[in-house]
Amino acid sequence: MKRRWLALVLVLCMTAGLTACKGAKKEEADLTETEESLEEPKPLGNQIYVMTAAPDHGWTGQGAAYAAAFVDEINLGIHGDYAATHYIADNGETQNEQVQEILANNDAAGVMFWGCDESAAEGQQVLIDAGIPWISYDRIIESTMNQAVLNYSGDNWQSGVAVAYYLITNGMTPESTLVQFSGDASTVSERRTEGFKKFLLGQEDYYDAESDEIHKMEDVNLGKVWTQEEVDKLCTENYFEYNCEWSNEKAKEYIESNLTSWIEAAKSTDNTLFVFSMDDEMSMAFLELLSGDTFDDSVKGELETLTVYMSAVGGMEEMYAVLRGDNEELKTVADTYFDGLMSVYYNPIMTQTAIQKLLDYLEGTWDYMPGAEDYEPVFIVDSGNVGEYEGFIGR
């Protein structure tokens, strides 16, 4: 009996010892995990970085202002459990430095990247290498676009298509004088020029997103499309083009120096002058110069005898005020010297849409493949429908 009791005590002691050993081992593991977490903290991963051009003026300025307002909403908790930081820059090199700061912060959930210029590709590549999701907005840089979560902007091809449709509808021929106010050397200007030519060649139709109608070149040009030779003639003979850097002032300098040459070219052919302007700022420059005393009455008189149609792209309230007639002075100028004026709707409110698309991606509500492209539809706004739209403050 005594032996059985001793054996039972021994078994109980061994069981208790094993239990104690297991408990000690678990406590040791917990301490190890705590030490590791203190030594190598995990990034928060809830920080949204919004990178835009400096909010100076025009479309760019208002786009950056919309971005700043959306960042404020994120930080108020309106768009989920994220914090947001707004970086602004004047050039791509500064943006590359900002990307290095984002990496050093070690908390990025994603980046909305509105590149200032082509050199910003370096910063975008850094994000790619670091595995940080990013959306390319407005200025699409071709060397990095395939590795963006999404490439998003207004439809620049269709902006050029819409201008070509408008000018052809109002009588532009291969013999006409064409003046082109370009923005810069980016994909924005390249795509608008490409779309303009593709419509003339019948390779791309104008989709009017306002009316949900499709317009073909042959429908507005007596059943015919232009040949490549005819497009080349328009864009070489009696053709004037200048990179105005999206600037009202630079456009004014160009117009002031060249208006008499445009008039002479138009008079030498069919007395028509067509303006392919890529931005409201640059078209407003033409109106503002004609309203002042920069040109003498003889030059203005010659311009008045021509058939002149002018386009624009954007949706500035200043341009809409002319189209509505609210700005009586510039409305009188437009009616005196131009036979028609319009602006392709391309509102910078889409900057907020780009940020929202990044949030959608992070929340998993996503329909895009990496490198996909998505573009806001555009359409023509003129005196006939301008009352239906609110312009953005350009200056």
Cβ(279)–Cβ(314) below 8 Å: yes
Cβ(116)–Cβ(90) below 8 Å: yes
For each of the domains in the chain, give its residue range(s) and CATH number, in order of start: 47-148 (3.40.50.2300), 156-347+380-388 (3.40.50.2300)
Please give the pLDDT value at position 366: 83
309 vs 9 pLDDT, higher one: 309
Please give the pLDDT value at position 58: 86
Q: Inform me whether the pLDDT recorded for 383 exceeds 70.
A: yes
Mean predicted confidence (pLDDT) in 77-91: 96
Please give the pLDDT value at position 368: 83
Please give the pLDDT value at position 32: 38
Mean predicted confidence (pLDDT) in 262-284: 97
Helices 317-324 + 328-337 axis angle, to 10: 70
Mean predicted confidence (pLDDT) in 88-93: 96
Q: Inform me whether the pLDDT recorded for 255 exceeds 90.
A: yes
Please give the pLDDT value at position 54: 86
pLDDT for 146-178, tens place per residue? 999 999 999 999 999 999 999 999 999 999 999
Please give the pLDDT value at position 395: 66
Percent of the chain at pLDDT exceeding 70: 89
For the four alpha carbons of 53, 57, 58 and 61, in that order, the dihedral sign comes to: positive
Q: Residue 104 in 3-state DSSP?
A: helix
Ramachandran quadrant class, 126 (left: phi over 0; alpha: psi -120 to 50; beta: rest): alpha
Q: Inform me whether the pLDDT recorded for 271 exceeds 90.
A: yes
Please give the pLDDT value at position 56: 72
Rounded distance between C-alpha atoms, residue 346 and residue 180, angstroms: 18
* Confidence bin at 377 (pLDDT 50/70/90): very high
pLDDT for 335-354, tens place per residue? 999 999 999 999 999 999 99
pLDDT for 170-203, tens place per residue? 999 999 999 999 999 899 999 999 999 999 999 9
pLDDT for 21-77, tens place per residue? 333 333 333 433 333 333 343 345 899 999 998 887 789 999 999 999 999 999 999
DSSP assignment string, 238-272: TEEEEE-TT-HHHHHHHHHHHHHHHHHHHHTTTSE
Among 43-52, 176-185, 240-249, 372-381, the minimum mean pLDDT is found in 43-52
pLDDT for 308-324, tens place per residue? 999 999 999 999 999 99
Q: Inform me whether the pLDDT recorded for 372 exceeds 60.
A: yes
Among 2-11, 183-192, 320-329, 364-373, the minimum mean pLDDT is found in 2-11
pLDDT, the chain, mean: 89
Q: Which residues contact 97 (CB under 8 A, 6 or more apart)?
A: none
- The residues facing 135 across adjacent strands are 112, 150
Rounded distance between C-alpha atoms, residue 91 and residue 29, angstroms: 51
37 vs 381 pLDDT, higher one: 381
The rounded Cα 123 to chain-centroid distance in angstroms is 18
